[in-house]
Structures are given as structure tokens and as C-alpha cells.
Amino acid sequence: PLLIIDFGSQVTQLIARRLRELNVYCEIHPFQNVTPAFLADFAPRAVILSGGPASVIDAGSPRPPAEVFELGVPVLGICYGQQVMMQMLGGRVERGDGTAEFGRAYVTPEDGARPDLLTGWFLEGREQVWMSHGDHVAEIAPGFRVLGTSPGAPFAITGDPERNFYAVQFHPEVHHTPNGRTLYENFVKLAGFAGDWTMAAYREEAIRLIREQVGDAQVICGLSGGVDSSVAAVLIHEAIGDQLTCVFVDHGLLRHNEASEVVAMFRDHYNIPLIHADEADLFIGELEGVSDPEVKRKTIGRLFIDVFQRYADQIEGAGFLAQGTLYPDVIESVSFSGGPSVTIKSHHNVGGLPEKMGLKLVEPLRELFKDEVRALGHELGLPASFIGRHPFPGPGLAIRCPGEITRDKLDILRKADAVYLDQIRKHGLYDEIWQAFVALLPVRTVGVMGDGRTYEYACALRAVTSVDGMTADYYPFSHDFLGETATRIINEVRGINRVTYDITSKPPGTIEWE
């Protein structure tokens, strides 16, 4: 495998992701764990030294064992990794004297023969890269030469092609280094990787690690019916069988048929022990008279934790709580920017619960991005229609029903939502849309149907495109589609006599209505 030695950069996981995209197996290990004995045992075919926040000039700053450079395998140093490499191999690093360089920069090549690492680079003269460093290399190590420079980094790319040692000042793994993938591709070729590693291999490895972590303890998994927790549950079940019990908290705020589908799939199809906590009465009862969005969210969040805990307490010998945490959730929870950010909406999760219940966490998807989780789900045989499902918020339909919630309103909303999604599927638009749903408005309007006057609810259709849910744009349906959908909803759903289409982007709107 390829070894990534992590010095604490926020983007180290992106290196792993780029390598997975190239079908190369890699493991990230924190520098503290990489001892000479570890190296001998791991026998990497190539090593990447990540970036990190430290300064190599400071005493005791992290470094890899010197043996890394004696393995006879290609080594790539990135940012802090570059500096560590230069210093350990006989170069010199100087402290940034206020000349820190952050963000976009352009690298141009040096004259002379270009090593294979740079195949496909500089085809148009210069390459855009993303810099983020304070210190800089002042003198490169013996054997190295300069291969590329930027205005702020005279040693932007350096290398010793004889030994296949390369060091770059910028981050080739981030999106803002558009041609970075080529650099990784060239590097893994130098190391002789065949690029034949797959999600199937990831699954095997994940299963091994889950077994190792859990031993013979019982594991509880909070199943929401969403893609992440479902993939985690199926994977863990494959690893430890009936040591896993899923708890599915059904708050009565789910979509049409959703609860029965989740139960059927997990209990009947996969034979995973599942507790269906049907607590609709409790949730809807407590939400009676509540119309403030934050109070709604907090109420649901609090009840969710209470209910989850009550059911989980019944599982004897539980030692672990499984969660479908993804890598983006991990990054978001580590704030480097300082001050607390403003709460736009309180998202509910089971954070804090593991300690309270004395459980350890199993998070087998912690290193993956959403599309990789989908690929893993596919590998595990989850149905494509399930894997491709739009995201659905924890508080469910409660936040799609502005104002006070009643069972009647929820029923109307569920029916309209089912018609709308049916329309979207029939027109082949489902996969183009990030999320689509109906919001039932707390307004009744006058209409005429047949010969009679009606006085019923108005609803709003919402459909957005997005890559990560952070920003979004409304989906440009054709007028025909909108007209046909409005007619169907009004004809098929009693209780709605007016349909509107929400064309707000995010920002300034949010995707959900509350």
C-alpha cells in the first residue's frame, strides 16, 4: 500500500480521496505512530508526507523517521511535508517573515529535462495551484533541483528524479489545484501501482477493522432510513452479524410509506435485528401548539435522544454506538476559524449521547465522502433507488409544515409530496435534483371546484440543485411540468386547492422552509 504520514493538515483526507479515485490503496497514519518498526512492517510502496500546522523550525516539531528516506521507494512531500523533507535531507527552511502565501498562485516550469512526475503539466505554460504556508524553503537539499516556481515560492516544485523524491509547496489534492490529480497519477505510476484497487477491497478492509474494534461487544446503530446510516448498518452487520441491533426512531414525521419500507428492508430483507420505535404519538403530542421553528427543532431533538436512549437501554451488553458519520461531518465539527458561528438552524443528532451512555463510537464511513458512500452501498448490494435518494432532514416533515403541526396536515403533506415525487420520477428528473419536496403552507385560500367554493390549504413545491447542500439554486422545471404537477396534486389530494413553486436560491433562502 501507499502510506500517508499525517502531520495534521485539514486536507490530508483529500489526498486519500484522490488516491482512491486512482484506485490505489492507501492508509493514513498519524506521524506519532510511524516508528521504524511500523515502517518495516507496513512496507509501503510509496510514502506521502502531508501538510500540517507546525513549523519545522520549532524544536520538537513533528517529523517522520529517517528510515522513510532509506526504503528506496518514491516519497512526495506536500507543504509541511516538503519542509520536513528538505530539512531532514540537508536543505534549509526559514521562518515566514510575514510573507505567508495563501490561496491561488501560478507555477511555471524551470528549464531542463522534466521528470515523469510532471507529465501532463505545464501544457499551457503555467498551472494554477493552491498555496497555504507560512515558512518556506530557503535552500534545497543536495541532489534536488527546482522544477517549478511561483512568484511567492521559488521552490514550488523540487525533486530528485534519481531517488524519486519530490516535494511541492502547494496542495495538489485540493480542488483549487485543478491539475493536481495528474500529479498524483504520475506519482503512483512511479511507484508501480497498478490502479486495480476497488470499493470491494475497501469493504473487506472496513469489515476487518470493525471486527477488530468491536470484539464480541454488542453494537447499537441509530438507523434513520437515510443513505449514510443504512450503509453503515449493512456494513457492520456484514462484519459482526447479530451483535448489531438497529434502533429506528419513527417520530411520525416521515414521508409516505417510509417507515414500512425501512423496516421491510432491514428486518425482512437483510435480517438485521431492528427495533422499530413507533413514537409518533409522543412526538406529535409534544409538538401540539408549537409553531416556532427553533422550538420545533429542539423539541424533536430532545425527544429523539430520550427515545433512542430508552430503547438502547434495553440492549444488553452494548459497548458501541454506530454512526454513519462522513468525512465532511468530521471537518465541519473541527472549527479552525475561531469564534462560534451563528446558529441558523439547530440540527439534531445524537452528539453527546455516547458519553452519557458509556458507549464508544464505531464510525466506519468516517473517511468517506458522500459519493464514495453511495459506491460502497452499491458494492453492498443496496438497491440503486435507495442509494440515490435525496437527503431528508432529521426533524422530517415537521419543518416542511410551517406553523403548528397536526395529523391532518401531515397526511395532506405526505400525499402531495408522494404525487410530486412521482411526477419527478416519471419525467426522469429525480437524479438531476439534489432535493425535492412539498411544503404545506399555513394559509388557506379560496378556490372553485365543480360548482362549489373551496377553502383549503396552499402548498409550495421546492426543488433545488446543489453539490453539498451549503448553497443551492432552484430547479428550472418547464411550465408544462409545473402545470401538470399542480393539476395532479389538486385532483388527487383532498385539502389542497392551490400550488405554488418556490424559486428562492440559497442563500438568501435555505433549502427547507424552517
Regarding 469 and contact with ligand XMP (CB under 6 A), the answer is: yes
**CB-hemisphere CA count at 13 Å for 263?**
12
Question: What's the angle, vertex CA 42, arms to CA 41 and CA 44, rounded to 5?
Answer: 135
Query: Among 23-31, 314-322, 345-353, 455-463, which window interacts with ligand XMP (CB under 6 A)?
Result: 345-353
Residue 64 lies near ligand XMP (rule: CB under 6 A): no
Residue type, 301: G
Is residue 512 involved in binding ligand XMP (CB under 6 A)?
yes
| Minimum distance of ligand XMP from residue 287's CB (angstroms) | 14
Instruction: Verify binding: residue 128, ligand XMP, rule CB under 6 A.
Output: no
Which of 101, 127, 173, 367 is the catalytic position?
173
Q: Which is nearer to ligand XMP, 320 or 437 (CB)?
A: 437
Binding mask 386-425 for ligand XMP (x = CB under 6 A): -----x-xxx------------------------------
Q: Which listed residue (17, 133, 237, 348) binds ligand XMP by CB under 6 A?
A: 348
58 is in an annotated binding site: no
Longest dimension (CA), the chain: 92
Of 26, 133, 136, 171, which is the active-site residue? 171
502 binds ligand XMP (CB under 6 A): no
Q: How far is CA 23 from the centre of its chain?
A: 19
337 is in an annotated binding site: no
DSSP state, residue 46: E
| Nearest to ligand XMP of 309, 505 (CB atom) | 505
| Residue 34 C-beta-side C-alpha neighbours within 13 Å | 24
Comparing CB distances to ligand XMP, the nearer of 52 and 402 is 402
Among 435, 440, 456, 489, which residue sits at the site for ligand XMP (rule: CB under 6 A)? 435
Strand-pairing partners, residue 360, are 320
Measured between its terminal Cα atoms, the distance across the chain in Å is 47
**Separation CA 272–CA 266 (nearest Å):** 6
Q: Is 136 a catalytic residue?
A: no
Q: Say whether 9 counts as a known binding-site residue.
A: no
Separation CA 472–CA 455 (nearest Å): 33
CA dihedral of residues 177, 179, 181, 186 (deg, nearest 10): -130
- Tell me whether residue 246 is one of the annotated catalytic residues: no
What is the C-alpha separation between 488 and 139, in angstroms, rounded? 72
Site for ligand XMP in 220-279 (CB under 6 A): none
Give burial (CB, 10 Å; 0-12/13-18/19+) of 344: exposed
CA atoms within 13 Å, Cβ hemisphere of 308:
26
Residue 171 annotated as catalytic? yes
Per the annotation, binding residues are: 224-230
Per the annotation, binding residues for ATP are: 224-230
Binding site for ligand XMP (CB under 6 A): 345, 347-348, 391, 393-395, 435, 469, 506, 510-512
